């Protein structure tokens, strides 16, 4: 019960900190809508290419924007840990009887809530610009689960990196180095069949693409559940591995105090 109550407290603390930044909240919610409108118009004619596999680009794009928002938001999660480190808040928590896991889990739960709200707005915005979804209830659920598995993995990794490097410049450099290449070597904006052959091999091992295959596939009119569950499994393994690495980084930081 102590771990649960500590997690509840840390979740509330992280959520209140989130709400105390109204401009950040506004940009967090508005940015995905801009991406949807911008990329939707920029790449709309791609559907005319042979073998693209989708007649409506907005329908193809909406899951990509949901995943992209979750992915990028999680990638910058380590900045919040750095803020706590600078102000000495994390050190004070570490000498208190608070559950150590709650320090990370609380932030991840707020991240999950943010992703769900963002995804709901993006899906509704998608309908407004002409996207259509099949298998709505189960499809949206799978998209949410896949996005949150990816975001939890990337968020945990970002927190762990922050505890190791302890510098904003390093977090920014690492995030830019990893996030953009992973996004653009996925099927977020282009069908796999139209991607250069050497890049197709990279795409198959890309966790962003695992998320897209699961989420986009579940929203299809006739979902192929085998690859969906397969990619969800990959994401689950990735999440566990990243959580383990984050825990190791956390323990290393404790020993250095």
Question: How large a percentage of the chain has pLDDT more than 70?
Answer: 99
pLDDT for 110: 87
For the whole model, what pTM was predicted? 0.89
Tally of domains in the chain? 1
Segment 64-69 shows an average pLDDT of: 93
pLDDT of 192-229, one tens digit each?
888 888 899 899 999 999 999 999 999 988 888 999 99
Domain that holds residue 122: 2-256
Q: How many residues does the structure list for the chain?
A: 257
Q: How confident is the model at residue 146 (pLDDT cuts 50, 70, 90)?
A: very high
Q: Is the pLDDT of residue 75 over 60?
A: yes
pLDDT of 243-252, one tens digit each?
889 888 888 8
Residues 187 and 38: beta-carbon distance below 8 Å = no
Mean pLDDT of the chain: 87
Full 3-state SS string of the chain: CHHHHHHHHHHHHHHHHHHCCHHHHHHHHHHHHHHHHHHHHHCHHHHHCCCCCCCCHHHHHHHHHHHHHHHHHHHCCHHHHHHHHHCCHHHHHHCCCCCHHHHHHHHHHHHHHHHHHHHHHHHHHHHHCCCCCCCHHHHHHHHHHHHHHHHHHHHHHHHHHHHHHCCHHHHHHHHHHHHHHHHHCCCCCCCHHHCCHHHHHHHHCCHHHHHHHHHHHHCCCCCCHHHHHHHHHHHHHHHHHHHHHHHHHHHHHHHHC
Q: How confident is the model at residue 257 (pLDDT cuts 50, 70, 90)?
A: low
């Amino acid at each position: 019960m102590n771990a649960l109550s500590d997690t509840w407290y840390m979740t509330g603390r992280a959520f209140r900190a989130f709400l105390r930044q109204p401009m950040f909240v506004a940009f967090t919610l508005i940015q995905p809508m801009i991406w949807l409108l911008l990329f939707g118009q920029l790449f709309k004619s791609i559907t005319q290419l042979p073998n693209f596999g989708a007649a409506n680009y907005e329908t193809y794009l909406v899951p990509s924007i949901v995943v992209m928002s979750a992915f990028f938001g999680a990638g910058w999660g380590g900045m919040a840990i750095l803020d706590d480190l600078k102000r000495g808040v994390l050190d004070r928590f570490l000498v208190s009887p608070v559950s150590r896991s709650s320090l990370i889990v609380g932030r991840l739960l707020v991240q999950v809530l943010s992703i769900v709200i963002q995804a709901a707005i993006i899906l509704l915005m998608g309908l407004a610009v002409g996207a259509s979804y099949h298998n709505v209830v189960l499809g949206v659920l799978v998209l949410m689960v896949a996005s949150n598995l990816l975001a939890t993995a990337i968020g945990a990794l970002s927190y762990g990196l922050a505890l190791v490097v302890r510098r904003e410049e390093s977090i920014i450099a690492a995030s830019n180095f990893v996030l953009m290449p992973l996004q653009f070597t996925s099927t977020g904006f282009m069908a796999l069949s139209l991607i250069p052959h050497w890049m197709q091999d990279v795409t198959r091992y890309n966790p962003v693409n695992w998320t897209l295959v699961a989420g986009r596939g579940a929203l299809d009119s006739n979902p192929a559940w085998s690859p969906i569950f397969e990619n969800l499994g990959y994401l689950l393994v990735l999440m566990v591995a990243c959580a383990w690495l984050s825990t190791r980084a956390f323990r290393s930081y404790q020993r250095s105090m």
